[in-house]
Structure 1
Amino acid sequence: MYFSKSIPRSKLIVFWVGLLSLNITGVSAKEFGTYATPFSVNSLWNSKPVNPKFKEFQIPTSIYYPAIQQGKYSTGVFQTKSSDPEGTIYGYPDKKGVWDPDSEVFKPFIKIPHWPSGVVPAEGSDGHADVVDESLGIIHSFWQLKLINGKWVAAQYAWTKLNGTGWSDPAHYFQGARAAAVPSSAGIIRQHEMDDGKEIYEHALAISLAHNALSKNPTYVFPATSADSDADKTNSGDIPEGALLMLPPDFDISRIKTPKLIKVAKTLKTYGAYVVDRNVGTPFVVYVENGSNVYSLKKANLLWDSQAASELHLIREGLRQVSTAEGWLNGNGERFTPDKNLNLLSMRGPWRLVSGNTLGEFSTADQAVNFGKTASPVVQENISGRSMQIVNWAKPKLGDSYKLTIKSSGGAKLTLKIVDKTSKKIVFQSKELGNGESEIFTWPADDFSTILTITSGVGDSSSLSAELLKP
C-alpha cells in the first residue's frame, strides 16, 4: 500500500486506527458465547473487579494439599456438531427418572438434540460432563452421567445459555451440575488455554472448598443461587458458595516458582475464582478440564512436587474473599454493573386443571407453559407456591415496587395472587394480563405464597411466560 509523503503523520495514525477497527489487519476481537470462550462479555466469569476490598478469613488447612487438577471431580467439555444424532438420557434403573431441578420433577428421559461421540463423564461419584451445542447456544450439564449397557443414564440434568451470564437467576434457579447451580465447565482451566502463551487465564476460575472453609449462614451469595443441601448443618467456615476469592494486590507472585502455578496465581490476582462446590478434605481445588494430561503438579514417579505443594499453601494463605468492589470491567475492558434485578417468577408446576380438557405443560427450554390445540379455554392453577424459588439475595421486600409483565401467544393470559401466610388471606391479585401487558404493584407481605392462574387461548396453540422484576 502506497502513501503520499504529503499526508500528515496524524492523519496516517487515524487511518491505521480505522483499519484496525474494521479488522482489515486480521486482528479479531475476542468472541464470547462460544465453545472456547463461554458466556457473555458481561458475564462475571469474563469480568474483573475494580479495586476490590477483602475479608480477613483465611482458608484453613485440611486433610490434603490444595490442588489444581483435573480428574474424578472435574469435568470434560464436549462439543457437538450439527450432524450429531439425537441423544436420549434416561434415569438410573432404580430411580424415578432424571431429576430436572428447573421443573422440580423427575423425567423418564431427556432428549438432547445433538449428542457427540466420545463423551467421557468424570470417574468420581459426581460423574460430571458438559455438552456444548453452539448451534443451539446451549450448555447441557449432567450429574452422575454414566453409560450402562449401551444406554446413557444420569441422576440430574440442567442447562444454561452459552451466551448468558454463566449463573442462574431466581426464576430458573438451577442451571448446571455444580452445587452453586452453575455448569461444571464454568470457570475451569481449559485445554486450549494451557499453552496459549498468555500470562493469565482470561476469565475467573472455578474453585471448591472443604466444609471447614465454607459458611453455614449464608450458604451462598450472589451470583450463586444454591449451595450443598446440608451446608447449613455441616459447614463451619466463613466463605459462602458464589463468593469471589482473590489474591490481594500485595501478594508477592515472585514467591511462586512453578510455571503452571505462576499463571494461576496471576489469574487469581486479576480475575479471582468463584466458589462453586464443596469437596472432601482439600483446602481448595481449582478445576482443570479433564483430558488435560499435560497439567500435573506431580513428578514422573507420581509423587507430589514438594515445591509446588509448598507454593499451593502460599496461595491458600493468601486467598481472601472479596467483600466489595468499586465496579467491574467486562471482557472488553468496559465498565459495567452486574444486574441483580432478575426474573423472580417461574412457570413451573405443579399445575391443576380448573376447567378444560388437557393441562398445558411447562417447558424448561421456553420457560413457558405451552398449550396444544383447544376448542375452548383451558384454565389451570398453581397453588403450590413453587412458582417462586426464594433465592436469599432476591427475596421480594415488603413495601417495594414490582412489575409483572406477560409474554404470550395465542391469547393466553395470567393472573397472579399473593397470599399472606400469617393471615392466610389473598393480599394482592393482579388483573388478568395478556401479551405485552404489565402491572406495577407494591409487595404486600413478608411471609407469603403465590397462586398463578393461566387461561389458554383458543385455537391451534398458545403459550405464556412471565417476568417479575423491580421496575
Structure 2
Amino acid sequence: MRTRANWLGRIIVTTFILGSIAASAAQAQNYTQTYGFGTFYRPFAADSLWNLKPVNPVLGSNGVKKPLINLSWIPSIDDGAYSVKVFMAKAGDPAMTVVGKPGMSGVGDPDTGHYRTITIPRWPADVAPATGEDGHAEIIDTVTGVIHSFYQLRKVGNKWTATMYSWTRIDGRGFGNPAHWSQGARSSGAAPTAGLIRVHELNDNRDHYRHALAMSLPAHTLANGITHPSYVYPATTADTSAILNTGVIPLGARLMLPASFDTSTLSTDQLRKIANTLKLYGAYAVDRNYDTAFRLYVENGANFNIMPNGTWNTRVVADLEKIRAGLRQVVSVERYADDNQAAKSAAAVKVAGDAKSLLSMRGDWLDAGTSKKGDAVYDTWLESVWFPKTTKKVNVVNYSNGISKVAGSMPAARTPMRFTARTSGGALIRMQLWAGSSLAYDSGYLADGSFASFQWPAMTGLSVKLLAQSGVYTNWSSARGILVAE
C-alpha cells in the first residue's frame, strides 16, 4: 500500500520527453526464454539479492506480530485484488499512451519529477490491472528488457489512466539504487514483479521457489524512521507516513525461518514449498498492509488458494501461525550462494549493488546563462540528457539535481570518488560541487570514457551543478555522468 506523499515529497522537478530515444537505442535481446536469469520467466540478474541464498544467516529477535485490531485475520498468501499480473509485451504490439486520472495533470513519475502522459512503446492486448485500490500492473517489454510498473491503472472509456509510473530492468538487480531510487510501486522502491510467486512456478515440481519472496507487513510491525530506520539496504525509500508505524522491522529487511524449522509437519504441499523457500531465501519486507500479520504475493491468474479445495481448514490456519511465529529478521549473513552454490561474500554483493551512480541526470536542463529550458531532454530509461541535431555547440546547465537522498549512500568526507563521462555524438559532461557560493570541486568537461578522481569535500550542505555540451552534426548526442566511490 503505497503512500503517494512518499514520492511526491521527494521528487526533484524535471523535464523530459518520453518517446523513441530509449527504445531505439536499446538492443533487442531474448527476454522471453524460459530459462536463465534476467528474463520474463526468471527476473533479475544471477547476483541479484532476490536470486541469492544466504549462507549461515544470523537471525535476530525481531519477529512478525499478530494482527492488532482484527484478531481473527490470518496471514495472506494469495493472488487477487491486491496482487499483480505480469504481462508480456512483444515486438509488434502497439504503443499505448497512459494519462492521469481525472483531475490530475498527468501520471506521477518520481524518476522525472513530473505529472505527464506516459507512452509505452509496446502494450499487450490482455493488460488488466488488479481490481483492488492499488490497481497494480506490470508490463515486461521483451524487446528492451524494461519492466513498466503502474499504480492505480484503470481503463476509463477508451483511455488508460494511472496515478503513478515507475520502471526497472528485467536483467537488473531488482532493487532501487541511489540515483534511481523508485523502481516500482512498492513502498520500498522495488517493482511488484520482484519476489512475486509467478503462475509458471506453482507446479514446477520443485519443493521451493528459486528466489526470495515479497512480503508486506502491518504498521505495528514496521519501523517508523525515528526510533528505528524506516528502511535499510537494499530498500531505497519508505512511505512518508512511516512515522505512524509502531514496530521495529524496516522495509528492505530480509526475514527467514530458522534452519531448524520442520517443514515436513506442515499440512499441504503449498505451505511446505513456501516454508522451504523462507528457509532457503527468505522474504524481503517491501510494502505495508493493513493489520495482516504478513502477506505474500501470488501472480494474478493463478487461482491460488492456500486452503485445500477452497474451504476453511484449521490445520492450515495453525500452520500459518507456526510460520508467522518462526519468522525472524536476518541481522547478518556470512556469504551468499547462487544456483551453482558459488560463494559470494556479503560485502562483495553489497558493493555490486551499490556500484551505481549517486548522481541522477534528472532535473530542469536550462540554456546556459538563462532561466529558459533548453532543447535538451532527460530520458528516464537511459538516465541521460539528450540533444537534438545542431550545427553549433549547445550548452545547458542543471541546478536542480541533488546528490542521492537514499539513507546510507552518501560518501563520508575525503572518500575517494570517481566521476565518469558516458556520452555519445561528441557530447561532454561536467560536474561541480558547491558549498554555498564557494566552488568545492570541478571535474572540468569530460568526453566519453574519461573520468576525474577526487576526494569528497569535507563540507556540509553541498549542492550539485551539472553542465552538458552537445555534439554537432549528429542526429542525437547524449551525456550522462556516473559518480561512485572508488
Q: How does 1:398-413 map to 2 (within 5 A)?
A: 398-413=413-428
The reply on whether 1:188 has 2:188 as its aligned counterpart is no
Q: How does 1:120-199 map to 2 (within 5 A)?
A: 120-199=128-207
- Identity across the alignment (%): 40
Which letter maps to 1:176? G
Which letter maps to 1:210? P
Asked whether the equivalents of residues 297 and 304 of structure 1 are also in contact (C-alpha less than 8 Å), the reply is no
Partner of 2:328: 320
Note the C-alpha offset of 1:297. Answer: 2.4
Structure 2 stretches of 5 or more lacking a match? 1-32
The reply on whether 1:425 has 2:438 as its aligned counterpart is yes
Which structure 1 residue ranges, 4+ long, deviate > 4 Å from structure 2? Answer: none
Asked whether the equivalents of residues 85 and 115 of structure 1 are also in contact (C-alpha less than 8 Å), the reply is yes
Partner of 1:61: 66
Partner of 1:362: 378
SS at match of 2:318: helix
Change (3 A) 1:29 1:127: closer
Deviates more, 1:457-466 or 1:28-37: 28-37
Partner of 1:93: 102
Partner of 1:390: 405
Distance in 2 (alpha carbons) for counterparts of 1:126 and 1:371: 37
Asked whether the equivalents of residues 127 and 144 of structure 1 are also in contact (C-alpha less than 8 Å), the reply is yes
Deviates more, 1:38-47 or 1:443-452: 443-452
Partner of 1:278: 288
Change (3 A) 1:323 1:447: farther
Q: How does 1:438-457 map to 2 (within 5 A)?
A: 438-444=451-457, 445-457=459-471
Which letter maps to 1:404? F
The reply on whether 1:373 has 2:389 as its aligned counterpart is yes
Note the C-alpha offset of 1:363. Answer: 0.2
SS at match of 2:306: coil
The reply on whether 1:291 has 2:308 as its aligned counterpart is no
For residues 99-138 of structure 1, what are the alpha-carbon distances to aligned partners after superposition, in whole Å with 9 as ceiling and x for unaligned? 111111111x211121111111011111101011222212
SS at match of 1:362: strand
Which letter maps to 2:330? V
Partner of 1:221: 232
For residues 376-433 of structure 1, what are the alpha-carbon distances to aligned partners after superposition, in whole Å with 9 as ceiling and x for unaligned? 22222221243x232112112111011000011222222211123xx55322222221
Partner of 1:252: 262
Structure 1 stretches of 5 or more lacking a match? 1-27
The reply on whether 1:414 has 2:429 as its aligned counterpart is yes
SS at match of 2:277: helix
Distance in 2 (alpha carbons) for counterparts of 1:369 and 1:165: 23
The reply on whether 1:50 has 2:55 as its aligned counterpart is yes
Note the C-alpha offset of 1:67. Answer: 1.1
Which letter maps to 2:93? D
Deviates more, 1:244-253 or 1:261-270: 244-253
Distance in 1 (alpha carbons) for counterparts of 2:317 and 2:464: 52
Distance in 2 (alpha carbons) for counterparts of 1:113 and 1:396: 38
Asked whether the equivalents of residues 139 and 162 of structure 1 are also in contact (C-alpha less than 8 Å), the reply is yes
Asked whether the equivalents of residues 362 and 401 of structure 2 are also in contact (C-alpha less than 8 Å), the reply is no
Which letter maps to 2:169? K
Partner of 1:22: none
Distance in 1 (alpha carbons) for counterparts of 2:170 and 2:48: 11
SS at match of 2:285: strand
For residues 416-459 of structure 1, what are the alpha-carbon distances to aligned partners after superposition, in whole Å with 9 as ceiling and x for unaligned? 11123xx5532222222121111011111343221111122222
Which letter maps to 1:105? H
Distance in 2 (alpha carbons) for counterparts of 1:51 and 1:447: 41
Distance in 1 (alpha carbons) for counterparts of 2:290 and 2:327: 19
Distance in 1 (alpha carbons) for counterparts of 2:319 and 2:288: 22
Asked whether the equivalents of residues 35 and 41 of structure 2 are also in contact (C-alpha less than 8 Å), the reply is no
The reply on whether 1:81 has 2:94 as its aligned counterpart is no
State the aligned residue count.
Answer: 437
Note the C-alpha offset of 1:146. Answer: 0.5
Asked whether the equivalents of residues 211 and 278 of structure 1 are also in contact (C-alpha less than 8 Å), the reply is yes
For residues 176-223 of structure 1, what are the alpha-carbon distances to aligned partners after superposition, in whole Å with 9 as ceiling and x for unaligned? 111111111111111111111110011111100001111123111111
Note the C-alpha offset of 1:243. Answer: 1.0
Asked whether the equivalents of residues 41 and 332 of structure 1 are also in contact (C-alpha less than 8 Å), the reply is no
Larger radius of gyration: 1
Which letter maps to 1:430? S
SS at match of 2:62: coil
Note the C-alpha offset of 1:171. Answer: 1.2
